[in-house]
């Protein structure tokens, strides 16, 4: 059978665009459809604009920090509208670049919704088109709360387009988005409440990181409500009243719900094409991104596996190479570094202490200190660094950091960990002085041993 295209990608985010460009570079006839905005979540309502807002939030504190170094600077009045306008201009520039990259690679671009009619047929903006291979790369979207008054809350998509910044905001959630926006709004001068179901933010991260972040947020003036659940939200004039299940009531100006994300699969016609989901809407795939339908694949957040932009890009690139090239390049996905752009930021790669301990005894090395900058600035901010070492092999299996430049530092460490570096390799590496990063190669004294129970049980 002759098809209109060799590959049709549904979704113009980072993963879908990479897959399309690489496939076209191999000579495939490729089309991409995007119904909302080119670049997907990351470029428009995720990583990129969020980090711009994080950067904006740091300047006020920096002006004050300068006093310890002899500067007489004073933080001025922040102009939220100017920030959002600058952010919008940058996002528009990036949107245009994504389209230019696709058309430049020879892809056919559709600014339209695409739905599946069967395993090889799609309806795209009123047209019926066919493709030999189809890739679902539609990403995810934030969940809107179901508790009474949930319609009074904003979600992360809305936060990037607020007309004004409220003087008081209450954030519900303990994940990436919640802690990052808590730091953003606090840094811009708002009073911030953070309500988390867990006793610590960032479930799944290393416990020392979680504890350190909670302490840092409290020091920053963020009001923490750990271990709490929402009963309802109601409107009282211009105010919002947040009622917690324990009877506590918080009066606030804006409620921001960051309680999770789900895959964008509703209405795609997956059932008609024979594509199975996991029961929560995410597309089920094998190790090669293949769905239950042999010619249909899914990459990125729509599969709800490692929901990170670089992972989606790697999956898209590998898939295009596998389908149309000489074979896929190998990506190391067992220990993927990730960062949370909280205030201060944190980054991690490899196993947490608990994960390593479950596999056997692990040597734990921890360093906590005041960064050089803040010995003069006077800001109450601490850095924490941690190495998790498998005791039997002495391989460094996890690295974790909370503090300034953590994402930049841990990116480099991820190479060492993925290459199988041992603690001895770290110890014989000469550090750059004076830096915070050198602490990772000068930690000599073991803090504790984790997984002792596992060792004793094996004896």
* Residues annotated catalytic, as ranges: 433
Nearest to 391 by CA among 414, 416, 428, 361: 361
Cβ-contact 348, 209 below 8 angstroms: yes
Cis amide bond preceding 413, omega within 30: no
Distance CA 150, CA 123 (A): 34
Residue 53, C-beta contacts closer than 8 angstroms, at least 6 positions apart: 83, 87, 160, 184
Distance CA 268, CA 26 (A): 28
Q: Classify residue 419 by burial, with Cβ atoms within 10 Å: 0-12, 13-18, 19+.
A: exposed
Q: Work out the number of other CB atoms within 10 angstroms of the CB of residue 260.
A: 12
Angle at 111 between CA 108 and CA 116, to 5 degrees: 80
- From residue 331, alpha-carbon distances to 305, 317, 349, 375 in Å are 15, 10, 15, 41
Q: Work out the number of other CB atoms within 10 angstroms of the CB of residue 253.
A: 16
Distance CA 159, CA 83 (A): 13
């Amino acid at each position: 059978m002759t098809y209109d295209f060799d590959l049709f990608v549904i979704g113009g985010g980072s993963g879908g665009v990479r897959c399309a460009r690489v496939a076209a570079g191999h000579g495939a006839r490729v089309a991409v459809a995007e119904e909302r905005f080119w670049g997907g979540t990351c470029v428009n309502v995720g990583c990129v604009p969020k980090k711009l807002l994080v950067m904006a939030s740091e300047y006020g504190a920096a002006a004050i920090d300068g006093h310890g170094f002899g500067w007489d600077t004073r933080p001025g009045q922040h102009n939220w509208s100017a920030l959002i306008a600058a952010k919008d201009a940058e996002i528009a520039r990036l949107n245009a670049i994504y389209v230019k990259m696709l058309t430049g690679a020879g892809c056919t671009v559709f600014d339209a919704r695409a739905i599946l009619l069967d395993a090889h047929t799609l309806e795209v903006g009123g047209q019926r088109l066919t493709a030999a291979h189809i890739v679902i790369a539609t990403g995810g979207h934030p969940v809107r709360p179901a508790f009474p008054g949930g319609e009074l809350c904003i979600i992360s998509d809305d936060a990037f387009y607020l007309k004004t910044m409220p003087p008081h905001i209450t954030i519900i959630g303990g994940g990436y988005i919640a802690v990052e926006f808590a730091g953003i709004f606090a840094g811009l001068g708002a009073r911030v409440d953070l309500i988390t179901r867990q006793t610590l933010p960032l479930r799944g991260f290393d416990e020392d990181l979680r504890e350190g972040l909670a302490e840092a947020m409290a020091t920053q003036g963020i009001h923490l409500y750990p271990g709490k659940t929402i009963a309802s939200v109601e409107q009282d004039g211009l105010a919002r009243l947040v009622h917690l299940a324990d009877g506590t009531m918080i009066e606030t100006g804006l409620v921001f719900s960051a309680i999770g994300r789900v895959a964008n699969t509703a209405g795609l016609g997956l059932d008609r094409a024979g594509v199975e989901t996991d029961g929560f809407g995410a597309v089920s795939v094998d190790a090669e991104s293949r769905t239950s339908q042999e010619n249909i694949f899914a990459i990125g957040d729509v599969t709800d596996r490692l929901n990170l932009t670089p992972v989606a890009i790697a999956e898209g690139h590998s898939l295009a190479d596998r389908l149309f090239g000489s074979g896929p390049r190998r990506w190391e996905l067992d220990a993927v570094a990730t960062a949370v752009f909280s205030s201060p930021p944190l980054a991690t790669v490899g196993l947490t202490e608990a994960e390593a301990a479950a596999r056997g005894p692990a040597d734990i090395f921890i360093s906590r200190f005041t960064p050089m900058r803040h010995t003069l600035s006077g800001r109450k901010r601490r850095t924490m660094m941690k190495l998790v070492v498998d005791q039997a092999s002495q391989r460094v299996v996890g690295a974790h950091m909370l503090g300034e430049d953590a994402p930049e530092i841990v990116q480099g460490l991820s190479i060492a960990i993925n290459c199988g570096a041992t603690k001895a390799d770290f110890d014989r590496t000469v550090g750059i002085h004076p830096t915070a990063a050198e602490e990772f190669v000068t930690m000599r004294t073991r803090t504790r041993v984790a997984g002792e129970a596992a060792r004793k049980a094996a004896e």
